[in-house]
Amino acid sequence: MRNRLIQLVCVVLAIVSVTFAEMLLPKILRISDENSLRYTDVSIDGAPPIVALGTAIGALRGIIVDYLWIKTNLQKEKGLFYEAMEDASLITKLQPRFGEVWSFQGHNMAYNISVMTDTPGERWEWVRAGIDLVRDEGLRYNPNDLVLHKELAFWLSHKVDGVSDDAHLYYKREFAREWQFLLGVPPATIQDRVAWIAAIKDAPDSLEELELKKPEVKVMVDQLKANLSSFERKFRFQLDKDFLMNLGRWQSVQFSRYAKILQLDATFRKNDPVYLAFDTVFANPESKAALESFLPFLRKKVLRESFNMDPALMWEYTRDFGPFDWRHPQSHAFYWARKGTTTAAKRTSNVEDVYKILNNDRINIQAMQALSRTGLMQYDPYSNDNPTRLNDPRWIKSIDIYFGELYRKHFGTRGGGGDSFCDFYQNFMAQAVRELYRFGDYEGAQTILTKLDNLFGRGGLIPNNKYEAPMDTFVRETTYAEYEAAPDVARSDVYAVLTRGFREGLLMDRPKVLEDAIKFARDLTEYFQSSQSTDFVNKFGERRMAALIGNLRTSVRDVLMNVLIDPSQPLVDRLTIYNRAGEPERRMVFDLVKAPLEAEFSMDPLSKLAPFAQVLPEPPGMEPYRQAMAAEAAKRAAELETSKRSTAEIK
């Protein structure tokens, strides 16, 4: 009887305890959310399924994780990187909320294992695997880990966009190719670029919703399903990254100069049944409107599911900061550093957290600096050329504004946090003076120089004469000393001077300006290419540093092309520049600028006054020039194939 009474009391206490727990749970969850006491911002977010393994082990899990973590670090110290990766992978399964091990594993792949491989392709696979691991898995399990965001941003900035790795040019080509297939070529103006990302952000979340809004999409999708139904399962209709990459590949062929030279469209239609299926549906004029609605939806889906990226944030950053080109690694470096800072803002509860945010903010503004120097991109994914990366002065104003925000934010950070941004600002703005001066924007350059003098020169805390020199003297004294240390400075000078030469020399009929610009570009290119510090050829056969500036012919081609398709300048002015250019220059750019200028011309009142062929005539000798370019492209393709076969035989 006594035992039954005890059992009854225990049951009653258990019921009362559960009842009170249920009553208290909502309040506990609310406090947890308000004070950011969970791994995720919403406390009801469940742990990943893999955690079930660790849960089954129970308290023993912590001991196992500690043992594996010590073992992993010892293996790393001994250079046993593959073995360390295996144990680190097991830790992420047992304890996926352990952000540091994700960082360790990603860094191990991208930095340690990658350099042990033999070819640029193998290196890139390991670098990309490290980035993918942290971005697609680590940050899904640790969405508020500030350091993990910072590490990912740093790898994109340093490993992919930096110059320290012998294979960095290969990384840049592959990164640009992948993101051009995924998102296409971004519009030229900031306003159009914001609208372009907004279309992805605002796209429907499901195919069913899209088909209800746009019935023509359902017709197109049904055709695709029918055309792909007989393929292997991995090639059938699946709205995933591979599907979007194949679609982007098909689109790129339609606009690629090298694809036309090498006749890749016919080759792919003959040998690639997936390409043929896409071409059959998407080349149909009736599919044009459906494709315009389908693409933003598909890109939104793939960005979220395959890249853990939020199109709403991409749109917000483009709107608030500048013209991001997502083919550029620094755009992604900015995205992840900025996301880390904003996500972790309410979690900065101690001094160490403040320094983590300070380091993240430094990556942000350094990414903007890199985009100002190399952010204006052109790329043909079917060439073996490096991406064209021109300086983009639109970032100067953005950095000027953002510097003020960061200085105020870190003014009280111990150790001179705000002052560190002052050093950056002085260096960057001094280069902006030089860049605007080379462009011929003397007023803009003088405005910045005067501001520097007021803040850090004669108007600074310790008055000095650093910025009181005449403009031309200041530019001369602050330029050549930077070339060997910062090759991007030399490249931006070449591009800026040539841009001014084409715009002012041809448009205003001042041949001396263009002549001087060509001479400056030639002299600087020869100086830079012949410098002993830049003529090193790496083990992959590329001039790792000198290739950044290219040769004079490609510089002239790239800059003139950019001048002609720049919609910020009047169309009639650009057509005048083209018609006043020499025949060799016009041959280099004709096939590159014809399509975008013709599309723009068709919507301009000028189209009512003259046919397009009259305002943009094909220069003499185009057919021999095309044949020469085709032979050159075929030669490069053959050399690349020979190199791949040789590498395979060695292995």
572 and 630 fall within a common domain: no
353 in a domain, yes or no?
no
Q: Which residue has the higher pLDDT, 378 or 549?
A: 378
134 and 202 fall within a common domain: no
326 in a domain, yes or no?
no
- pLDDT, residue 37, reads 42
Task: Please say whether the beta carbons of 542 and 169 come within 8 A.
Answer: yes
Total domains present in the chain:
4
State the Cα–Cα distance between residues 159 and 164, nearest whole angstrom: 7
542 and 614 fall within a common domain: yes
462-496 residue pLDDT tens? 888 888 888 888 887 776 556 666 666 777 778 88
The enclosing domain of 118 has a CATH number of: 1.25.40
Across 17-31, 139-153, 286-300, 508-522, least confident range: 17-31
564 in a domain, yes or no?
yes
Domain that holds residue 101: 51-143
Residue 192 banded pLDDT, cuts 50, 70, 90? very high
504 in a domain, yes or no?
yes
168 in a domain, yes or no?
no
616 and 632 fall within a common domain: no
State the Cα–Cα distance between residues 149 and 154, nearest whole angstrom: 9
577 and 554 fall within a common domain: yes
- pLDDT, residue 67, reads 64
What percent of the chain shows pLDDT beyond 90?
28
76 and 114 fall within a common domain: yes
Whether 528 has a pLDDT exceeding 80, the answer reads no
Place of tokens 């239609």: 269
Mean pLDDT within 367-380: 88
33 in a domain, yes or no?
no
328 in a domain, yes or no?
no
Question: Residue 141 is encoded by which pair of tokens?
Answer: 């399990």
319-358 residue pLDDT tens? 999 999 999 999 999 999 999 988 876 666 566 677 788 8
132 and 234 fall within a common domain: no
34-46 residue pLDDT tens? 444 444 444 334 4
80-95 residue pLDDT tens? 666 766 766 776 666 7
206 and 301 fall within a common domain: yes
Whether 459 has a pLDDT exceeding 70, the answer reads yes
Place of tokens 């390409």: 275
225 in a domain, yes or no?
yes
Range 45-54, long-range pairs (CB < 8 A, 24+ positions): 47/96, 47/97, 48/96, 48/140, 48/141, 50/93, 50/96, 51/96, 53/93, 53/94, 54/93, 54/94, 54/95
650 and 551 fall within a common domain: no
- pLDDT, residue 346, reads 64
Task: Please say whether the beta carbons of 544 and 168 come within 8 A.
Answer: yes
What percent of the chain shows pLDDT beyond 70?
76
601-647 residue pLDDT tens? 888 877 887 899 998 999 999 999 988 888 887 887 777 666 656 55
Whether 536 has a pLDDT exceeding 80, the answer reads no
State the Cα–Cα distance between residues 202 and 225, nearest whole angstrom: 25
When computed from its CA atoms, the radius of gyration of the chain, rounded to whole angstroms, is 28
221 and 136 fall within a common domain: no
Average pLDDT over the chain, rounded to an integer:
80
Residue 376 banded pLDDT, cuts 50, 70, 90? confident
Q: Which residue has the higher pLDDT, 134 or 23?
A: 134
632 and 582 fall within a common domain: no
Whether 219 has a pLDDT exceeding 70, the answer reads yes
